Chains A and B, each alone.
Chain A
Amino acid sequence: MKVTVVKNVLAANDRIAAENRALFDKNGVYVINLMSSPGAGKTTLVEKTILALQNRYRIAVIEGDIQDTYDADRIAALNIPVVQINTGGACHIDGNMIRESLPAFDLALIDLLICENVGNLVCPAEFKIGENAKVMILSAPEGADKPAKYPLIFQESSVMVINKIDLFPYVDFDLAKAKRDALSINKELQIFEVSCKTGAGLDDWIKWLTDRIDDFKKPRV
């Protein structure tokens, strides 16, 4: 007997992500899901973003790592509420991991929740967590071939931050190709060229994020 199913395999995760989203909406929490390869600069971008915005918004962070608390310790040093999810080998964070970490926060007292995903360009792109925006980082030393090799994460993201632009003189990074290929996958993609080390270009990223949060927090009529 044939049974027609036609169902997304990750529908159960999508449902949990939607429930997270409803909870975030109710409490006015803008959520970003930050993704990249290991070592592209996720935690440093989180630190820089906190330093730029902590007087303007109440910020909290969820750190997803396979093990250890190095990243969470860096965030806690900035006096920001942080929860570490140790995925214990899982290569991504999913909707349920976020749901289980939320009781640690008072959501009513958070404007911006940054969820730093496990370093990986494949699996995080598939699992929604209830975010407003997926933001991915491509760092110059990784090479400009990444959009063509891992199209899904570039398609799913609203923002591509090209980090470590201070290393352009030392690495063969074809900036034009990286941008062209990423836009051929996702023409809506916002691209920022930054160096978290020198601070170059970070203002544009901060402005984009501020505009999104303010728009999200605007009372709806």
Chain B
Amino acid sequence: MDFKLSALTKSIWVFHVSAGSCNNCDIEILDLLTPRHDVERFGIQLVGSVRHADALLITGAMNKKAVVRMKKIYEQAPKPCVVVAVGQCALSRHLFRYSYNVEEPLDKILPVDLYIPGCPPKPEAMIDGIVKLVNKLKSKK
């Protein structure tokens, strides 16, 4: 078992990016930090700066303006960094898929490691997704 990897999976610092979301997914993400779901149990923390991030939590359909910023933010994150797409919009553009300013889904732009579907996804679904991601990372090495 890799030493660094086990430390990484025990303390995932999350940077939360909204690429034009309707705020529902963002509210559900904040629910994870409340007493009911308390993800600090697993060492997961929201951080203020991309430079500290281990995971980018991206919500919302990627409109043209957001794509440029999103690529910049991904480049600024220190690498091993996973990308998590939260919500139906980030997965497949949902009801904006024929919209004139939303050209590509997120996984054509950034390498997405984890998809969490739902509109908005439940906090339980997100915790489940993170557990699956951790297991995937562990089995890869």
Chains A and B bind each other: no
